[in-house]
Structure 1
Amino acid sequence: MYSHQKRTIYLLFVVGLMAFTSCEGLFREKTEKEPIARVGEAFLYKEDLVPFLPDDMSAQDSILFVTNYINNWASKQLLLSKSKINLPEEKLAEFDRLVSDYRADLYTRAYVEALVFKGQDTAISNFQLREFYEQEKENFRLSEKLVQLRFIGLPLQFLDKDNVVDKMKNWSEDDRIYLDSVAIQFKKIHFNDSIWVNTSRVMEEIPPLTPLNEEDYLKKSQFFEIQDSLEVYLGQVTDVLEINDIAPFDYVAPDIRQLILNRRRMDYIRNLETDIIDEAIKKNEFEVYGKDN
C-alpha cells in the first residue's frame, strides 16, 4: 500500500493529465479507467503505472519515476507509430507473426511446465542411478583431473607444524581426533578425503598450486607442503583420476539424476502432445483437410 504522502503527491502530479471521478461516478457499478497520458489513440492509465512504483521510494523520487515512465512510454508509442508507417508491409507482417509465435510459446510453455511439474515422477532410486551409470559409463569420461585429498592451511608462524605433519601422514583415528580438537588454529581445513574434487577447485583453495606445478604435488599417495605469503598448506593425496578416465559414480551421480529427469520430462511432453492431439481428434476439435484426397 502507498503512504498517504506518496499518494497525495502522485495525484497532484497527474491532476493536469486526468479527470477526477465525478460524484455521480462514485455510484456506478463499473469505474472507468483513469488515463494519465495519450499518444494518438493509445492511452496510458494510472492502473498501468502503479504496479511499477516501488513502495519504499521517496516522494521526490516518486515524481521523477512517474515523469520518466510517462516520457519513456510516450517515446515508445511515437516510435511504434512511425515504424508502422515507414516500415515495409512485409516486414510488419513478419514482426506480427513473430510476436504471435512468441506469445503462443509463452502461454504453451508455461502451461506445459505446470503440467510437468504436477505430473512428472521425480523419484529416482540409487539403483536407477547405478543402472544408468553402468549402461552409459563410457559417456562419463573425465575432462579434468580429479583427486581425493585432505589438507590444512596453517599460519606462517604456526609453532607445532611438525606434529601436524606427522598426524596428517599417519591419519589414525586418534590423529584425526587431535587435529579436529586444534582445528580452530588452522586457516583452512579439509579432512573428507573420500570425495572426489577437480583440480581447479583444489587450486582455488590452495593458491600456490597452479596448472604449472600441480603434476608435482597432486600425485597418488603424495604428501606435499607448499606455501605462499599468507599460509603454509599441508596436503595428503589419497587417489587420483586422470583426464579421460571414467568418472566415479559418486562424482557424476547428480548429473545422472538430472539426465534421467530431463529424459522423463521429454517423454512426458511427447506423450502429453500425443494425448492432446488424440483427444482433440476424438472430440472433433482437430481435423486435417484433404489428407485422404
Structure 2
Amino acid sequence: MKVKLIWILIVVGFVSCKDKLEFSKKKAEDEKIIVQYGEHFLTDKDIRLILPKDVSKEDSAKLVKTYIEEWVKKKAIVDKAEENIDELTLKEIDNKMVEYRQDLLINAYNNYLIEKNLKDSLPESEILSYFEKHKESFPLSKDIVQYRYVSVNKSDELRAEKLFNSGNDEDFDELMKIVLTSGNHYHDKDSVWYGADILPAQIPMLNGADNLRELLNRRRLKITNDSLVTMVKILKLKPKGSEAPFNFVKPTIKNLLLNKRKLNLLGDLQKQLYKEAINNNEIKINEKP
C-alpha cells in the first residue's frame, strides 16, 4: 500500500497519555492567588520562589513590586501576540514548546539515571585497556616532563648541590631534611607528568631570561640570588607529537569513558521503551485519507 503521509504517534513510558503536555497554569489547593491579570495569576508560592533567603521586609516588598510589574507587562504582550499572530505561527510555537519541554524532561531524567546508576569511579584496568587500544589517539600537544626541584639557603649550597646531583634516593632524602628544616620550597613528585609550559608558574625563579629553554636543553639548572639557590632537574621529557604516557592521559580517558556510559545509558533506555511500545501495540500509525 502506498502511503503519501504517515503520522507516527509513539506512546512510550513517561511521555504517554492523552493531554499530558498541558502548559496552562494550575493552582494547587494549598495555594493562594496574590495577583491576577486576565486568565493569568501568581500565587503565594510563585512569589516565595523569587525571593532570596534572609531578605528584609523592605527589600522583599520592592522585589515583589518590580517582579509583578514585569510579569504583567509580559503577560499583556503575550495576550496581544496571541490575538494578532496567525494560527499557523501559533501552532509552530506550540510545537516548539512541546519539543523544548520534552528536551528538558529527557535531560532531567537522564541526570536522574546518571546519579542513580553511574559512579564516578572506573576500574584502573578498564582505563588502561582503552589506552592500550587507542594509544595513537593521544599524541602530545606539548612537551611534558617529570622533574625535581629544591631551594636551599646559600649557606647550604655546596652540600645540597652534591646531594641533588648524585641521583641516589638516599641522598635526596638527606637533601629534603635540609630543605624542610630551612622551610624552603621543593617539588619531589618525580613520577607525575607536567606540561613544560607550566614550570615557570610552579618555579617562579624560571621566569625571565631563557631559563626555561636552558633547563629543557640541558635537563638541569641552578639559579642563584642573594639568599637562595634553586636547583631544577628534568628527570624525563617527552616532546610534543610523541605518544602520551598513560598517567598523563588517564584523567582524559576516564572522563571520555564516563561520558560514553552516560550517553549509552539514555540510549539503551530509549531502545528499551521503544521495543516495549512495539510489543504492547502502543504505536499507532494512521494513514492520511
Question: With structure 1 as the length reference, what TM-score do the two structures score?
Answer: 0.74
1:189-228 map, 5 Å: 189-207=186-204, 208-209=206-207, 214-219=212-217, 222-226=219-223
Deviations 1:60-119 (A, max 9, x none): 222222222222322322333334345555444333222211111111222233234434
Residue 150 (structure 2) pairs with residue 167 (structure 1): no
* Structure 1 runs not aligned, ≥5 long: 1-29
Unaligned ranges ≥5, structure 2: 1-27
Q: 1:280 aligns with which of 251, 273, 277?
A: 277
Q: Match for 2:157: what amino acid?
A: K
Mapped pair 1:151 → 2:149: yes
Structure ranking higher on relative contact order (CA contacts 8 Å, 6+ apart): 2
Residue pair 2:157, 2:229 contacting (<8 A) in 1 also: no
Secondary structure of the residue aligned to 1:203 is: helix
d(CA) in 2 for partners of 1:251, 1:184: 32
For residue 288 of structure 1, report the CA deviation from its aligned partner. Answer: 3.5
CA positional deviation for 1:195: 0.9
1:51 aligns with one of 31, 49, 52? 49
User: Equivalents in 2 of 1:161, 1:91: separation in Å?
Assistant: 80
State the aligned residue count: 258
Cα distance per residue 1:243-282 (max 9 Å; x no partner): 1100001111222222223333333333222211111111
Quick one: which of 101, 106, 117 aligns to 2:99? 101
Which amino acid in structure 2 is aligned with residue 127 of structure 1? S
Q: Structure 2 matches for 1:214-293, cutoff 5 A?
A: 214-219=212-217, 222-226=219-223, 233-289=230-286
> Structure 1 residues 72 and 199 mapped into 2: Cα distance closer, same or farther (>3 Å)?
farther
Does 1:114 pair with 2:112? yes
Q: Which residue of 2 aligns with 1:139?
A: 137
Equivalent in 162, 180, 183 of residue 176 of structure 2: 180
CA contact (8 A) 2:145 2:237 kept: yes
Contact 1:203–1:210 under 8 Å retained in 2: no
Deviation at 1:168, TM superposition (A): 2.2
Percent identity between the two aligned chains: 27
Q: In the alignment, is the contact (CA less than 8 A) between 1:281 and 1:287 conserved in 2? A: no
Q: Alignment RMSD, CA only?
A: 3.1
